[in-house]
Amino acid sequence: MHAKQSPPADALPSARGGHKYQAVRSYLAALVQTELRVGDAIPSERALCERFGVSRMTVRQAVDALVGEGVLVREQGRGTFVAPQRMDFEMRLTTFGEEMRRRGMRPETRVLGMGTVAASAEAADALGTEPGAPLHHLRRVRYADGSPMSIEQHWVSVALVPDLLAAGHPPSMHDALRAVGLDPSWGEETLTAAEATDEEAALLDLRGTRAVLRATRRTFSADTPAMYSNACYRGDRYSVWVPLSAPAPALVPRLREHDDEREAVAATVHDGRTG
């Protein structure tokens, strides 16, 4: 078995006739693919400047491009490192555990709190109950292969599922709902970009960035709003993936009888004006 070798500079696209930073960018991208691992530091700016005969500004432009693509991550005061692979956040009704297992990763949970709370106006509206009504509440951090990925909160009406938390926190909220005949069948979700709070940054071990993706979801079983949830995902580990399709042809409604009459009158007036 041969050891991996750094790609030679002369084997990469030339900077002549194009942007100089492209050669540096291609070199770093190849280095990530062939030699470096997640968490490894990239070569210093000085070393890259000497290797390619370019300015520090050019090197920074190349690094900026890879940081923007999620290939590298900057940590203030430490340097620039190979970033963990981003995961697509596909818009579908699934659970964190199901998604991580589908990707071959080990899901884990740390419960931050659970119990019964009075429904806020927002939660009451989402669940179709009255403000102040008792709700089960569960807050937890979700991990994949030991790394914190998201902070989740769930609310379920006590009247709908009285014993939801009687045996402790359910490993899967969807399975807990299915167990009482409330199969999650559809949902609606809103996504927003935000900055993590101090507590969220600490729980998610955010260092180089505080960008997070917030998701608010209502999960339905048939016509029943069964669960209200919100989640805070690490912005450096998630990107949103949404399937798109070509729009269907626009439907032109048929004219009603009185519309037909108006069209005929308009035509007559028009013809009369133009002779």
Domains of the chain: 9-82 (1.10.10.10), 87-241 (3.40.1410.10)
Residues 6+ apart with CB under 8 A from 180: 161
Residues 6+ apart with CB under 8 A from 249: none
CA angle 118, 120, 126 (to 5 degrees): 115
With contact defined as beta carbons under 8 Å apart, do 187 and 93 qualify?
yes
With contact defined as beta carbons under 8 Å apart, do 12 and 27 qualify?
yes
**9-22 per-position pLDDT tens digit:** 444 444 443 467 78
Please provide the distance, in angstroms rounded to a whole number, between the alpha carbons at the two ends of the chain. Answer: 91
Look at residue 246 in the predicted model and tell me its pLDDT.
64
Look at residue 200 in the predicted model and tell me its pLDDT.
95
| 54/216 Cα distance (integer angstroms) | 47
> Could you tell me how far CA 40 lies from the centroid of its own chain?
25
- Closest by Cα among 246, 253, 211 to 232: 211
Specify whether the backbone of 39 is left (phi greater than 0), alpha (psi in -120 to 50) or beta: left
Q: What is the DSSP letter of 41?
A: B
Specify whether the backbone of 216 is left (phi greater than 0), alpha (psi in -120 to 50) or beta: beta
DSSP for 137-194, please give it.
EEEEEEEETTEEEEEEEEEEETTTSTTTTTTS--S-HHHHHHHTT----EEEEEEEEE
With contact defined as beta carbons under 8 Å apart, do 220 and 186 qualify?
yes
Look at residue 1 in the predicted model and tell me its pLDDT.
40
Q: What is the DSSP letter of 53?
A: T
- Closest by Cα among 175, 125, 172 to 152: 172
| 72/68 Cα distance (integer angstroms) | 8
Strand duo 238-241 + 87-90: pairing: parallel
Look at residue 265 in the predicted model and tell me its pLDDT.
40
Q: List, for the chain, all residue ranges whose pLDDT scores fall below the cut of 70.
A: 1-19, 85-94, 103, 238-275
Look at residue 20 in the predicted model and tell me its pLDDT.
76
